[in-house]
Amino acid sequence: MLYRCRYVKQDACFGQGTPILMEDGTYKPIEDIEVGDWVMSFKGLEKLIPTKVLKTFKHEDCFVYDLDGLKVTPSHPFLTPGNRYREIAQFTEKNSLVLADGTFVPVPKMIPVDGFYTTYNFMVKDFHTYVAGNYRVHNKTVKY
């Protein structure tokens, strides 16, 4: 069953503390990302490039999975080795995800988390992508 945030239509987000790869190679918690920050972005499987944050989002009361320590809503799109995006809830442990460095790893076990959480997302210029917790993801603010 796919759960969504209770009060918003756009619910592809990550929970507090999700590390986001910044332009300088450091990581910053997603809740601290601000308009004007520069994060690492990408076009599919190509190399990472710095991209400017244009807008931030915060959503309350969202259902999340625990994915390798990350709290993520079921509809957040992750990059596949086939250079396409799929919502994380559509993956199984037989599938693979793409890491920041472009390597492929099996999907970690996804565990539904009890309760509802505050989640965050942001929009970046150009490719609408960023690195969250070492995974290549789409910000889903535009059709992917």
**What pLDDT, in 10s, does the model give residues 78-136?**
999 999 999 999 999 899 999 999 999 999 999 999 998 999 999 999 999 999 999 99
Is the separation of the CB atoms in 109 and 55 below 8 Å?
Answer: no
Boundaries of every domain in the chain: 14-138
Per-residue pLDDT, averaged over 17-23, amounts to 98
Q: Which fold has domain 14-138?
A: Endonuclease - Pi-scei; Chain A, domain 1 (2.170.16)
Q: For residues 2-8, give the mean pLDDT.
A: 47
Average of per-residue pLDDT across 13-37: 97
Residue 11's pLDDT is 61
Which of residues 7 and 138 earns the better pLDDT score?
Answer: 138
d(CA 114, CA 92): 20
The answer, yes or no, to whether residue 47 has pLDDT greater than 90, is yes
Please state, rounded to an integer, the average pLDDT across all residues of the chain: 90
pTM: 0.90
Q: List all residues 6 or more positions away from 136 whose beta carbon is below 8 Å from its beta carbon.
A: 42, 78, 79, 97, 98, 99, 100, 129
